[in-house]
């Protein structure tokens, strides 16, 4: 393993350390990871929910909300519309279905859900539409699917059924119509972050629906501030709709030289509710600017906002602007009107929760599912995804585990233990996914939606059993197809491994494709068949976009879709040979990033005197770990080995060390360390008493209820 430590300038470290009030090690890690812009640093240092993106940034969100609210209204006979939530079979689809179902039930809506079962295909189906139409249903909401269902949405419209599409997969050129679409990856969506999960998207929709309980929903507001600057009065305004800034205006007026009609203010403020911070002070300045004959009819917010934030009672906007955390991470100087907007948004959010106390508990339950979905669907752990996962884990670890999840955690001996993103990825998500892979996604949804604790207990046990069955099916499929996968690589220009075998259970094709990606270091396609239809999964690596690869062959598919690194497809069996020929030809054009032989870059070097238990605080700050945020890799040099032993019963014994360090006060600090599969190093390359250089992660180790810190060694060398 090559050791790759990038040098960073002390001046750069000091700049970030001082600006954001962090330690030098954290600052150096951020720089080495290329996280140097304020907006990116923001999501590593802050995790308050008020910093997530506003759901109404989706251009279609207000339309979606209003259509759902219409479904909640009773007609003259006291009946409500019937609504169907159509989800997907994986963790993301099941959790997204749950979040929206619980939200719509709380609104009193006549709602049911459906997820693919058995051999049913991914995405909205004609069969589901027909069955719903027979029930006189009138609104379908897709979750974690739908963006590719162009024909199905058009068919629903013919049946008199409206469709709201909430999806996070890549669009395929033509969008479903007529439909209200919420997908951050569609052109012009308005949403600033594309990589949220399907569950996160339904959480956004649920959040927007809760916001309709506020008096501020669809209220046109203008925030206004007046201040003196030299001999002028500067008047700044921000138009706000559903807490979204819709426009800004600044007018600079020298008293006595301009009438208000000479400015853009009358037209800009027409029809707006005008709010300022301090009405008395603002009115005085406006009269100075335009004379006593002009009445702006402004309402001061200071007293009302101070009820929520007493420390602001006597504060000016000049002081408030410098208190703003958001402004601290900006690339421009904070402004008074910007500070007013930020505190207004926070006030609206807090007042909504105060008026509706149940919203806080509901949000906690939802975010635990959003955290599961982000990790299970391998969303990049950047931007607001970090907030979602951190908060979801926080609620789980505070003992407020939601129904369904508490039963599952109990079954796998994680209840009461500290849950991490690693636990979700390795222990929780695979079990939930197993239900969908084996055609029982409905029971995974039942786990979260059932109000019967006995039923949830039984479902959790069934999910454990299905996961064991899934393991067997996957291993059998690998044993049956490994040689085919290996030998296929040369046929596909050394760019792909391709497998087709009817013995593969279609629900494990994605897992098998991922295994072959890991083993061969190239993208992989794994296919099986159900009757006359071939069903395949494609997984990628090294920067290759599989969704675009499949899009180039779209004419041969019955259906296809997915993400950049994971996609699925189906085609008629009679077209399989033609498809394989097309794949072989197109594989010539596949461009893969070079295989990184340097290993994971080193994030920070820790000097022996800084080898203290406080290192875990830095590790915790960078949680959650996963896609695009690997575990922190530390380097330490000349660390003495205090003791060593071999552990494990396999052929490759593990090396367990105790390292002898001194802290900054010169007091001894003993660190346990484990190097998996490296028992052969003892007595051949190292001995007790030697000093070693090592690359390591810092992690918690829980045994018999006791938590200790442990170094997980990735590589070591005898010190020179």
Q: Note if the bond before 178 is cis, omega within 30 degrees.
A: yes
Mean pLDDT of 571-587: 95
Do the Cβ atoms of 220 and 239 come closer than 8 Å?
yes
Considering its fold, how many domains does the chain have in total?
5
Q: Look at 2-11, 173-182, 302-311 and tell me which has the smallest mean pLDDT.
A: 2-11
Mean pLDDT across 50-77? 95
Instruction: Indicate whether 481 belongs to any domain.
Output: no
**604 close to 29: Cβ distance less than 8 angstroms:** yes
pLDDT of residue 543: 86
Judged by average pLDDT, the poorest of 130-134, 135-139, 524-528, 540-544 is 540-544
Does 69 fall in a domain? yes
Report if residue 29 sits inside a domain.
yes
Instruction: Report the pLDDT value the prediction gives residue 666, as an integer from 0 to 100.
Output: 60
DSSP secondary structure of 635-698: EEEEEEEEEEEEE-SSSSPEEEEEEEEE-TTS-EEEEEEEETT-GGGBTTTB-TT-EEEEEEEE
What is the distance between the alpha carbons of residues 661 and 636, in angstroms, rounded to a whole number? 11
CA distance 177 to 174: 9
Banded pLDDT at 193 (limits 50, 70, 90): very high
Q: Residue 606: what are its φ and ψ, rounded to 5°?
A: -110, 120
CATH number at residue 378: 3.90.1640.30
Neighbours of 444 (CB within 10 A): 31
Of residues 562 and 53, the one with the higher pLDDT is 53
pLDDT at 536 over 80: yes
Range of the domain at 181: 48-213+356-468
CATH of the domain at 238: 3.30.420
For the segment 481-507, the average pLDDT, to the nearest whole number, is 94
Report the C-alpha gap between 27 and 33 in whole angstroms: 10
Residue 390 tokens read as: 């951190």
Q: What is the pLDDT of residue 122?
A: 84
Predicted TM-score (pTM) of this structure: 0.91
Instruction: Compute the distance between CA of residue 97 and CA of residue 84 in angstroms, rounded to an integer.
Output: 10
The pLDDT value given to residue 598: 43
> Which of 355, 374, 389 is the last residue in one of the domains?
355
Beta strands, E only, 254-300: 273-276, 299-300
Same domain, 274 and 346: yes
Q: Could you tell me if 258 and 178 lie in one domain?
A: no
Helix (H/G/I), strand (E/B), else coil: 273: strand
Q: Are residues 155 and 115 in the same domain?
A: yes
pLDDT at 668 over 70: no
Is residue 478 included in any domain, yes or no? no
Residue 165: pLDDT band by 50, 70, 90 thresholds?
A: very high
| Cβ density class 368-381: b for 16+ within 10 Å, e for less | bbbbbbbbbbbbbb
Judged against a pLDDT cut of 50, whether residue 108 lies above it is answered with yes
Pairing mode of beta strands 220-229, 232-241: antiparallel
* Cβ(200)–Cβ(385) below 8 Å: yes
Distance CA 63, CA 59 (A): 8
The residues that bridge with 112 in the sheet, in sequence order, are 84
Q: What is the pLDDT of residue 279?
A: 94
| In a shared domain, residues 71 and 38 | no
Which domain-ending residue is among 355, 379, 403? 355
DSSP letters, 7-28, are: ---HHHHHHHHHHHT--HHHHH
Does one domain contain both 629 and 576?
no
Expressed in angstroms, the distance from the first to the final Cα of the chain is: 18
696-717: burial string, b at 16+ Cβ within 10 Å, e else = bbbbeeeeeeeeebbbbbbbbe
Same domain, 403 and 351: no
What is the percent of the chain where pLDDT is above 90? 78
| Res. 665 pLDDT band, cuts 50 70 90 | low
Q: Which two tokens stand for residue 518?
A: 């890991």
Q: Tell which residue, 141, 146, 186, 185, has the closest CA to residue 162.
A: 141
Half-sphere exposure of 391 (CA within 13 A, CB side): 23
- CATH number of residue 536's parent domain: 3.10.310.30
Q: How confident is the model at residue 652 (pLDDT cuts 50, 70, 90)?
A: confident
From 318, 338, 355, give the residue that closes a domain. Answer: 355
pLDDT in the model for residue 663 = 64
* Claim to verify: residue 56 and residue 202 sit in the same structural domain: yes
Find the mean pLDDT for residues 143-156. Answer: 96
Q: Could you tell me which residue, 178 or 652, shows the higher pLDDT? A: 178
- Whether 246 and 342 map to the same domain: the answer is yes
671-709 pLDDT, tens per residue? Answer: 899 999 899 999 999 999 999 999 999 998 777 767 788
Residues 290, 364 within the same domain? no
Compute the half-sphere exposure of residue 120: CA atoms within 13 Å on the CB side of its CA.
21
Asked if residue 416 is part of any domain, the answer here is yes
Same domain for 338 and 366?
no
Residue 592 domain-assigned (yes or no): no
Give me the chain's average pLDDT, please.
Answer: 92
Q: Are residues 657 and 704 in the same domain?
A: yes
Mean pLDDT for the stretch of residues 286-297: 87
Cα–Cα distance, 296 to 260 (Å, whole number): 10
Residues 81, 28 share a domain: no
- As a whole number of angstroms, the distance between CA 223 and CA 351 comes to 18
Positive or negative, the CA dihedral 206, 122, 393, 194 is: negative
Closest CA to 498 of 537, 545, 542: 537
Q: What percent of the chain has pLDDT over 70?
A: 98
The confidence score (pLDDT) of residue 514 equals: 92
- Cα separation, 19 vs 329, in Å, equals 9
Query: Rounded mean pLDDT of 250-264?
Result: 91
Is 664 inside any structural domain?
A: yes
473 found inside a domain: no
User: Cα torsion at 139, 145, 147, 151 (round to 10°)?
Assistant: -60
Q: Write out the DSSP string of 83-115.
A: EEEE--SSHHHHHHHHHHHHHHHHTT-EEEEE-
Measure the CA–CA gap between 263 and 243, rounded to whole angstroms: 26
**Predicted local confidence at residue 256, as pLDDT:** 83
- pLDDT band for 340, please (50, 70, 90 cuts): very high
pLDDT band at 596 (very low <50, low <70, confident <90, very high): low
For residue 650, name the pLDDT band (cuts at 50, 70, 90).
low
């Amino acid at each position: 393993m090559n050791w790759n430590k990038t040098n960073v300038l002390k001046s750069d470290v000091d700049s970030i350390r001082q600006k954001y009030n962090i330690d030098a090690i954290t600052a150096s890690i951020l720089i080495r990871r290329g996280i140097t812009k304020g907006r990116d640093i923001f999501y590593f240092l802050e995790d308050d929910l008020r910093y997530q993106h506003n759901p109404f940034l989706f251009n279609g969100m207000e339309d979606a909300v209003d259509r759902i609210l219409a479904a909640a209204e009773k007609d003259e006979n006291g009946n409500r519309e019937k609504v169907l939530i159509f989800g997907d079979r994986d963790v993301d689809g099941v959790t997204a279905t749950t979040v929206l179902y619980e939200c719509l039930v709380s609104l009193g809506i006549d709602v049911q859900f459906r997820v693919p079962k058995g051999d049913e295909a991914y995405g909205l189906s004609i069969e589901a539409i027909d069955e719903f139409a027979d029930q006189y249903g009138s609104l379908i909401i897709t979750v974690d699917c739908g963006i590719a269902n162009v024909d199905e949405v058009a068919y629903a419209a013919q049946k008199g059924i409206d469709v709201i599409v909430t999806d996070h997969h890549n669009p395929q050129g033509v969008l479903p119509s007529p439909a209200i679409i919420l997908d951050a990856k569609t052109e012009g969506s308005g949403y600033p972050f594309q990589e949220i999960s399907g569950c996160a998207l339904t959480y956004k929709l649920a959040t927007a629906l809760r916001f309709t309980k506020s008096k501020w929903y669809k209220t046109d507001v203008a925030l206004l501030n007046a201040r003196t600057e030299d001999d002028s009065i500067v008047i700044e305004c921000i138009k706000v709709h559903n807490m979204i800034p819709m426009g800004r205006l600044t007018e600079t007026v020298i008293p006595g030289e301009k009438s208000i009609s000479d400015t853009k203010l009358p037209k800009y403020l027409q029809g707006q509710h005008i709010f300022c911070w301090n009405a008395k002070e603002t009115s005085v300045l406006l009269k100075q600017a335009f004379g006593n004959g002009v009445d702006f009819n402004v309402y001061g917010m200071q007293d009302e906002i101070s009820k929520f934030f007493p420390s602001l009672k006597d504060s000016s906007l000049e002081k408030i602007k410098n208190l703003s955390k958001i402004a601290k991470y900006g690339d421009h100087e904070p402004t008074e009107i910007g500070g007013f907007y930020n505190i207004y948004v926070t006030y609206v959010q807090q007042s909504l929760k105060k008026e509706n106390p149940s919203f806080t508990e509901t949000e906690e339950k939802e975010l635990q599912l959003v955290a599961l979905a982000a990790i299970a669907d391998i969303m990049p752990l950047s931007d607001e995804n970090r907030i979602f996962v951190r908060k979801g884990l926080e609620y789980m670890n505070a003992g407020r585990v939601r129904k369904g999840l508490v039963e599952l955690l109990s079954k796998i001996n994680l209840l009461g233990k500290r849950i991490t993103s690693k636990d979700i990825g390795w222990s929780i998500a695979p079990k939930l996914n197993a239900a969908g892979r084996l055609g029982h996604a409905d029971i995974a949804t039942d786990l979260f939606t059932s109000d019967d604790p006995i039923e949830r207990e039984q479902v959790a046990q069934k999910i454990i059993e299905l996961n064991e069955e899934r393991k067997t099916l996957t291993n059998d499929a690998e044993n049956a197809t490994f040689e085919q996968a290996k030998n296929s690589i040369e046929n596909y220009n050394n760019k792909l491994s391709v497998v087709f075998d009817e013995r593969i259970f279609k629900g494990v094709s994605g897992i098998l494709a991922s295994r072959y990606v890991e083993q061969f270091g190239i993208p992989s396609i794994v296919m099986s068949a159900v009757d006359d239809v071939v069903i395949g999964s494609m997984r990628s690596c090294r920067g290759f976009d599989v969704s675009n690869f499949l899009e180039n062959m779209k004419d041969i598919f019955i259906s296809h879709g997915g993400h950049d690194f994971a996609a699925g497809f189906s085609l008629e069996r009679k077209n399989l040979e033609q498809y394989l020929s097309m794949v072989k030809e197109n594989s010539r054009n596949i461009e893969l990033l070079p295989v990184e032989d340097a290993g994971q870059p080193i994030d920070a070097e820790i000097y022996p005197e800084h080898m203290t238990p406080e290192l875990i605080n830095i590790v915790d700050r960078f949680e959650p770990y996963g896609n695009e945020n690997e575990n922190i890799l530390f380097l330490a040099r000349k660390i003495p080995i205090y003791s060593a032993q071999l552990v494990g019963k396999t052929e490759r014994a593990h090396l367990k060390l105790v390292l002898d360090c001194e802290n900054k006060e010169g007091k001894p600090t003993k660190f346990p360390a484990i190097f998996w599969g490296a028992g052969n190093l003892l007595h051949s390359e190292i001995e007790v008493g030697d000093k070693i250089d090592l690359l390591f992660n810092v992690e918690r180790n829980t045994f018999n209820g006791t938590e200790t810190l442990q170094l997980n060694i990735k590589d070591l060398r005898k010190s020179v």
